Copies of this chain bind each other. A is one copy, B any other.
Amino acid sequence: MPPVSTPSPEPKLSRPVRVAEAIKTWVVEQGLKAGDRLPSEAELIERFGMAKGTIREAMRILEAQGLVKTRTGPGGGSFVHEPGQDRARALLGNYFYFKDLTITDIYELRRVLEPELAASLAGQLSAEVLAELEATIASYDSPATTLEEEREQHVASLRFHALLAAQSKNPLLSFTIDFMVKILSDLTVYKELYAPPNVELWRQGRDFQRRLLAALRSGDPEKARSIMAAHMESAQKLMQGQEAQMLRRFMAG
């Protein structure tokens, strides 16, 4: 259980924050895993010697960080929870909401990370995933005629990259690429960030992804890497004009 009373070493922080912090370190010390039960509200009230409201505020803090989940009813209570990619993405998104992240910035990273991802996945994908990738590509098999269609295709092609990212065994690489892709997706949807229909560009992008898929299937890392690099290069140029400031809203999560 958490310490019965803190000798008030840091009177600067509010009690709920201190309680939340204490619970966090306690969870680590106890080696609790996701799904493990935390003491009940009543127990915490007693252990910390604080009022219900204070404890509840602490739980909200942990909940906001995605570290606990609370259920009502018998057998209910608070449980250790694993944040989940969407929650983490939203929390990080809050940070970039105040920065002026540009498309160029994102592509500076995508340009080097996506090829790395592609290379690492060559020959590693299951039949199911390959089929899903195939299906995604198929969804933009013919050129868009309307802006609306163009936009949907753009989002779908980003989904292709998100799917790839999800396959990486490197959680950091996986998260980072997914984060960038989801931001670009958001922008496409909410800020009408998409190129005017252009058959040539469409064909180019589609062919890149097809050739990439082939390289991934045949298990040729260097080929996958270079195709992806070229793909990013051209996508970067395509996005060059779109210098609009970003993240005009907080991300969902």
Contacts and interface: CB of A to CB of B under 8 A. Distances in A.
* Contact residues of A: prevailing secondary structure: helix
A219 interface: no
Interface stretch (A87-95, A131-139, A197-205, A231-239): A87-95
Interface string A55-94: 0110011111111000000000000001111011001101
Contact of A61 (B63, B101, B170): B63
Contact of A112 (B66, B87, B91, B116): B116
Interface in A4-57: 16-17, 20, 24-25, 28, 34, 53, 56-57
Copies held by the complex: 2
Contacts of A57: 56-57, 60
Interface string A165-193: 00000111101100010000000000000
Place the interface of chain A in its size category: 35 or more
A106 interface: yes
Interface in A215-230: none
